[in-house]
Amino acid sequence: MKMLINGAERVVADALRGMAAAHPELRVDVDRRLVVRGDAPVEGKVGLVSGGGSGHEPLHAGFVGYGMLDAACCGEVFTSPVPDQMTQAAAAVHGGAGVLLIVKNYTGDVLNFDMAAELVEDEGIEVAKVVVQDDVAVTDSTFTAGRRGTGGTLFVEKLAGAAAQEGAPLAVVAEVARRAAEGSRSFGVALHGPTTPAKGSPTFDLPPDQLELGIGIHGEPGRERRAMLGAAEIADLTVDALLADYGPGPTGPLLCLTNGMGGTPLLELYGFHAEVVRALGARGITPARSLVGDYVTSLDMAGCSVSLCQVDDELLRLWDAPVSTPGLRRGR
């Protein structure tokens, strides 16, 4: 597979050099693989630190900026960053009001962030942690590492980021993050597996007439394969999987993210979003807000995920609050 790279070992560092060149408002440490808000630490503001394996751009580094994250730690492709990066990030963004760590639920991310949280506390910095586990495709959580953190992470970072930007204290920001995480559900499908730079070929082979259901964002195969379906059928199946998981059904306003995995054109994605909204409508639900685009990707994987977040008026207000990051910008 051809790639626009200088070599697999350099992919992450090269991307960070590019971010530094494109976004002078951010501090990019290419060696330590950290992206930090240029004005950090903001005095009296809770610092939001997230991070994870690279390959999901714009998540997380692309969400660093006003109204969202204060710092992102970039791991190797699909590999959690290490505790050193997280402690350095926390130190860089601590403005006296403590630090919130936003962690996607993967064994590696959780282990590394837990180690980091202990070290940060040892430095005398107050730390809270929220783990995002929104992927409804993982059904028997007792026999797995639990649900994966996927598209719902965007909701958590945006909502908690808005609360922190308004000056809310750590306990309140952490509570907003928890409510966002608990209200989020995601389900993804793949039409083609992603190609990691290290491997150079797709991490799973999907025949042209097959669809992979319940995929994650790391090129791990999904739970089930079926004959390829049309957009309307995929949307129905996705919406059913999401709504079934809310039990009695989501209450209150709903945020809807129709998210591209990196290799699906926006033309298809908007068409698919129309089907998602139609499918929701047929079940009596109108999303309060929609977002469509590539936000939580898996390299060049073709396919999409739908994330819903059940909110209240307060969270909806935080969703509408201004944000200015490379990956998400509005109202500012």
Partner 1 sequence: MAGQTTERDAAFVAAWLTASADAVRAEADRLTELDSAIGDADHGNNMRRGFTAVVAGLEKERQEATGGVLLLAGRTLVSTVGGASGPLFGTLLRRAGKALGEAERVTDAELKEALEAGVDAVAQLGGAALGDKTMLDALLPAVAELPDYAAAARAAEAGAKATIPLRAHKGRASYLGERSVGHEDPGAASAALLLGALFQVSR
Residues binding partner 1 (CB under 8 A): 8, 53, 75-84, 106-108, 111-112, 115, 137-138, 140, 143-145, 148, 196, 198-199, 203-204, 216, 218-221, 223
Instruction: Specify the pairing of strand 99-104 against strand 47-54.
Output: parallel
Angle 170-183/152-165 helices, nearest 10 degrees? 160
Please name the amino acid found at residue 301. M
Q: Closest by alpha carbon to 165, among 313, 316, 64?
A: 64
Q: Closest by alpha carbon to 309, among 83, 162, 158, 89?
A: 158
- Residue among 200 and 322 whose Cβ is closer to partner 1: 200
- Residue among 121 and 205 whose Cβ is closer to partner 1: 205
Measured CA to CA in angstroms, residue 284 lies from 21, 136, 259, 304 at distances of 47, 21, 22, 23
Least distance to partner 1 from the beta carbon of 233, Å?
Answer: 23
Measured CA to CA in angstroms, residue 332 lies from 45, 92, 93, 316, 324 at distances of 19, 24, 22, 17, 6
Catalytic residue numbers, as ranges: 56, 218
Give me the phi and psi of 285, to 5 degrees please: -125, 130
Least distance to partner 1 from the beta carbon of 299, Å?
Answer: 10
Q: Closest by alpha carbon to 326, among 23, 20, 18?
A: 23
- Residue among 113 and 319 whose Cβ is closer to partner 1: 113
The 10 Å Cβ neighbour count of residue 299 is 25
Least distance to partner 1 from the beta carbon of 140, Å?
Answer: 7
- Residue among 171 and 198 whose Cβ is closer to partner 1: 198
DSSP state string for 2-35 = --SSS-GGGHHHHHHHHHHHH-TTEEEETTTTEE
Least distance to partner 1 from the beta carbon of 316, Å?
Answer: 32
Least distance to partner 1 from the beta carbon of 202, Å?
Answer: 9
- Residue among 4 and 143 whose Cβ is closer to partner 1: 143
Only one residue has tokens 């070599």, namely 7
